[in-house]
Structure 1
Amino acid sequence: MYEEIIQNMRKDFDIKPMEVMNLQPLVLAYIGDAVYEMYIRTMLVVKNKSNVNMLHKMSVKYVKAKSQADILHRVNDRLTEDEHDIVRRGRNAKSATVPKHADVTDYRYSTGFEALIGYLYLTNSYERLMEILRLAVEE
Structure 2
Amino acid sequence: MTRANYQQINGIALAYIGDAVWEVFVREHLLELGLTKPNKLQHTATHYVSAKAQAFLISQMEEQEYLTEEEWTFFKKGRNAKSHTSAKNTAVMTYRISTGFEALFGYLYTSEQDARLAELAHWCIDTIEAQPAMKKPRSR
Q: TM class, shorter-chain normalised?
A: 0.7 to 0.9
* Pair 1:130 & 2:115 matched: no
* Pair 1:65 & 2:51 matched: yes
Which residues in structure 2 correspond to 1:35-50 (within 5 Å)? 35-50=21-36
**1:26–1:90: 8 Å Cα contact kept in structure 2?**
yes
Deviations 1:10-37 (A, max 9, x none): xx4143xxx2111100000000000001
Residue identity in the other structure for 2:2: F
**1:75–1:135: 8 Å Cα contact kept in structure 2?**
no
Counterpart selection for 2:16 from 30, 52, 58: 30
SS in 1 for 2:45: helix
Deviations 1:30-78 (A, max 9, x none): 0000000111011101213330001100001110100001111111211
**2:3–2:111: 8 Å Cα contact kept in structure 1?**
no
How far has the Cα of 1:112 moved from its partner?
A: 0.5
Quick one: percent identity of the two aligned structures? 38
In structure 2, stretches of 5+ residues that fail to align are 131-140
How far has the Cα of 1:100 moved from its partner?
A: 2.2
Aligned residues: CA RMSD: 1.1
Greater helix percent: which structure? 1
In structure 1, stretches of 5+ residues that fail to align are 1-11
**2:108–2:117: 8 Å Cα contact kept in structure 1?**
yes
- TM-score, structure 1 as length reference: 0.85
SS in 2 for 1:124: coil
* Pair 1:114 & 2:76 matched: no
